[in-house]
Amino acid sequence: MERVRTYCRICEAACGMVAERAGGELRRLVPDAAHPISRGFACVKGPAMVDVHRDPARLDHPERRLPNGGGDRWTRVSWTEALADIGARLKRVRDTYGPDAIGVYIGNPTAFNVGLSVYAAGFLAALGTRNFYNAASLDCQNKFAVAEEMFGHYVIQPIPDLDHTDFFLCLGSNPLVSQMSFVAMPRALERLKGIVARGGRVVSVNPRRTETADAVGEQLFIRPDSDAFLLMAMLRVIFDEELEDGVACAQLAHLDELRAAARAFELDDVAAATGIARDTIVELARSFARAPSANAYCSTGVNQGSQGSLAFLGVQALNAITGNLDRAGGARVPSRAVKFAKLARLLGRMRPPRPSRIGNFAPVAESLPTGILADEILTPGQGQIRALLVIAGNPLLSAPSGARLGEALRALELCVAIDLYRNETGVLAHYTLPATDWLEREDFPLVQSGMQPEPYAQLSPAVAAPRGERRQEADILVAIARAAKLRMFGTPGLTSVFGRVAPEKVYPWVSRLVGLPASRQPVLVAPDTPGAFLDDVPTRDGRVDVGPAKVLADVPRALERCRREATSPPGLKLIGRRQRRSHNSWMNDLSKLKKSDDGCRLAIHPTDAARLGVTDGARVSVTSAVGRVEVEAELDEALMPGTVSMPHGWRINVNELAADGPAALEPLSGMARYNGIEVDVQALRH
């Protein structure tokens, strides 16, 4: 038995794994007990990747769809034929309608795939299109938009220093299930338990008592989509009671603007709108400000609300004004994030930013909001999207309003999906092209390098040979560009370098750029010094901006919403949740890796259920302003009454209930809204 060290590339945690091989064949993946960070930890999904690798349902060959009345047929074609036809059709679209007529959507797994990240940037530069979309505008674009203003670049994202903190305020995350986001850190639960064991506090702010809150710390129920109000109220208490850190505040830009914004929020309104008692808000703010060290953190539960940018500003402003930004135990900025920002700037320069045709959204983190993709395809005129490449994504289930997006995808002249599976989006494509999985390619955790509490480096080789005719996305993109007569990376110099070499050749170079050794074994590197970031903030004036005008422009809307929510009796509100045994829309039902809808249920509190005549296991219809789904109900005491919860990524598509189009998106960042959607639930009679 041969054992090769590698790491999991399904989520940020990047858990160390050992690939066991015999006779050249991959047999098993086991958690790497000797890994310096994950130390033998892995969730249920990591080892199951072997089953994804061997799954008979995987795409192994390029295939073309033959429309055939109602029932489409898929036929196997050679790579040569597929690439030539795709190239010729892309060229025709571009020559006829211009560069913006070709759109690209890339999904979440791209974050853990350096070859795809770098070569997708090169491919976009070659196309010269403004129409680049990705999962960020469904996930975290509010964080990118605010970090750009506050810290000088979108990739600079403070991470919670859980191993040294005395107070962790966690809004809208469920670390036990998700291992969190925007921090590359396995063993989240153990670290949270460590805080409590040291005598510190862990407070989960969430409309649902999560598995995490059940296991550690305190639960604080909050009404969906009201986090921005709570954060502004906490800032207000700290300012009113002069609990801020004077030395830290002297270094911050636009503090007066932040203070004025916070003071516009009346504590009684906030208490009524959030469902959190006034005294509790005051106590929380005092306790946070007085803790020797503290950090506030938010994730998708907050990002996917209607004012995620203002809320994220609130989170980071809390850290900053209490002196917890870049302090041990606070919200730390890894030095590699700043180095990574420089690399991102370099790649970003290949495509000058242009606003969207629909809704006039400025690109954030180089991409436009996926919530306008259907409109960009369906609205006639100069710049209309006619061809779309979907890489490592499933927007049909992950983006708002799957029905509208489906209609749009059907209207395309060409749609190509590059994936492990023919997912719900791929079914509507003209071609599906088989990609290698992470076991079949070399890689290193680049994105994670800017989010590691304990920095380390690890360059993993491929641990399995590609099955069938699977190819790496980078190679596929180079080949498509060649067939479409496009210049990869846009400039002759870069084309000559990147257009010819295998993507792996650039890894040691990229790795050095962010200050990491290209080591095949996981190796710890020197930890960052707290405070170093504050000495060299890459904003224009070198200071962290806690009151950026672009973000505070959303305060009047928050005040109006807060007052309205405080007085009007709220109806049922829908929120999302993640599940242990699936990853967004893939790996659903891990036992077979085939998709059923077994895991998709509407959780509802027993009091709401009783009022509506809904029993456990009953079928219900859920209706929002824009859509309707039918699903099985499950009674769940963990929910705050008035809240219902449904996971995404299933064929029963919760995102039929979410609105797309410019008016439905967060104005600054273009984030889609999934949390706090007003719905009507009715029991279905048989």
Ligand X SMILES: Nc1nc2c(c(=O)[nH]1)N[C@H]1C(S)=C(S)[C@@H](COP(=O)(O)OP(=O)(O)OC[C@H]3O[C@@H](n4cnc5c(=O)[nH]c(N)nc54)[C@H](O)[C@@H]3O)O[C@H]1N2
Q: Closer CB to ligand X, residue 210 or residue 335?
A: 210
Residue type, 220: L
By CB atoms closer than 10 A (0-12, 13-18, 19+), residue 438 is buried
Nearest Cα to 429, choosing from 133, 65, 100, 57?
65
Q: Closer CB to ligand SF4, residue 42 or residue 169?
A: 42
By CB atoms closer than 10 A (0-12, 13-18, 19+), residue 526 is exposed
- Position of minimal CB gap to Mo ion: 139
Residue 108 binding ligand X, by CB under 6 A: yes
Residue 670 binding ligand SF4, by CB under 6 A: no
Kindly state the smallest distance separating residue 588's Cβ from Mo ion, in Å: 16
Q: Closer CB to ligand X, residue 11 or residue 609?
A: 11
Residue 15 binding ligand SF4, by CB under 6 A: yes
Which one of 17, 82, 188, 222 is in contact with ligand X (CB under 6 A)?
A: 222
In the chain, the N- to C-terminal Cα span, in Å, equals 57
- Reduced to 3 states, what is the DSSP secondary structure of residue 296? strand
Strands 619-623 and 677-683: antiparallel
Exposure class string for 385-408: b at 16+ Cβ within 10 A, else e:
bbbbbbbbbbbbbbbbbbebbbeb
Which one of 14, 106, 488, 631 is in contact with ligand SF4 (CB under 6 A)?
A: 14
Kindly state the smallest distance separating residue 181's Cβ from Mo ion, in Å: 6
Which one of 141, 274, 293, 300 is in contact with ligand X (CB under 6 A)?
A: 300
Residue 45 binding ligand SF4, by CB under 6 A: yes
Q: Closer CB to ligand SF4, residue 37 or residue 253?
A: 37
CA distance 271 to 283: 13
Residue 8 binding ligand SF4, by CB under 6 A: yes
Residue 205 binding ligand X, by CB under 6 A: yes
Kindly state the smallest distance separating residue 144's Cβ from ligand SF4, in Å: 22
Site for ligand X in 307-366 (CB under 6 A): none
Residue 42 binding ligand SF4, by CB under 6 A: yes
Which one of 32, 63, 139, 326 is in contact with Mo ion (CB under 5 A)?
A: 139
CA 366 to chain centre: 15
Task: Report the partner that residue 275 touches, choosing among ligand SF4, Mo ion, ligand X, none (CB closer than 5 to 8 A by kind).
Answer: none
Q: Are 458 and 445 a contacting pair, CB within 8 Å?
A: yes
Site for ligand SF4 in 147-206 (CB under 6 A): 179, 186
- Reduced to 3 states, what is the DSSP secondary structure of residue 473? helix
CA distance 440 to 129: 31
Which one of 266, 443, 473, 660 is in contact with ligand X (CB under 6 A)?
A: 473
CA distance 202 to 636: 23
Q: Are 677 and 602 a contacting pair, CB within 8 Å?
A: no
Kindly state the smallest distance separating residue 211's Cβ from ligand SF4, in Å: 14
Which one of 38, 113, 316, 319 is in contact with ligand X (CB under 6 A)?
A: 113
Q: Closer CB to ligand SF4, residue 32 or residue 149?
A: 32
Q: Closer CB to ligand X, residue 113 or residue 384?
A: 113
Residue 558 binding ligand X, by CB under 6 A: no
Residue 38 binding ligand X, by CB under 6 A: no
Q: Which stretch binds Mo ion (CB under 5 A): 37-45, 134-142, 389-397, 425-433?
A: 134-142
Residue 46 binding ligand SF4, by CB under 6 A: yes
Residue 177 binding ligand X, by CB under 6 A: yes
DSSP 411-429: H-SEEEEEESS--TTGGGS
DSSP 624-671: -SS-EEEEEEEE-TTBPTTEEE--SSSSS-GGGGS--SGGGS-TTT--
Kindly state the smallest distance separating residue 638's Cβ from Mo ion, in Å: 22
Residue 12 binding Mo ion, by CB under 5 A: no
Task: Report the partner that residue 473 touches, choosing among ligand SF4, ligand X, Mo ion, none (CB closer than 5 to 8 A by kind).
Answer: ligand X
Q: Closer CB to ligand SF4, residue 94 or residue 583?
A: 583
Nearest Cα to 681, choosing from 574, 591, 556, 554?
574
CA distance 512 to 431: 37
Residue with tokens 């999985």: 437
Q: Are 571 and 383 a contacting pair, CB within 8 Å?
A: no
Residue type, 130: R
- Reduced to 3 states, what is the DSSP secondary structure of residue 505? helix
Which one of 59, 232, 294, 391 is in contact with ligand X (CB under 6 A)?
A: 391
Residues in the chain, overall count: 686
How many helices (H) and strands (E) in the chain?
26, 24
Q: Closer CB to ligand SF4, residue 186 or residue 455?
A: 186
- Position of minimal CB gap to ligand X: 301
Nearest Cα to 430, choosing from 116, 73, 61?
73
Kindly state the smallest distance separating residue 1's Cβ from ligand X, in Å: 26
Q: Closer CB to ligand SF4, residue 42 or residue 408?
A: 42
The binding site for ligand X (CB under 6 A) comprises 11, 107-109, 113, 135, 138-139, 171-174, 177-181, 205-208, 210, 222, 224-225, 227, 299-302, 304-305, 391-395, 398, 418-421, 423, 435, 437-438, 473, 575-580, 582-586, 648-649, 654-655, 674-676
What is the contact surface with ligand SF4 in residues (CB under 6 A)?
A: 8, 10-11, 13-15, 42-43, 45-46, 179, 186
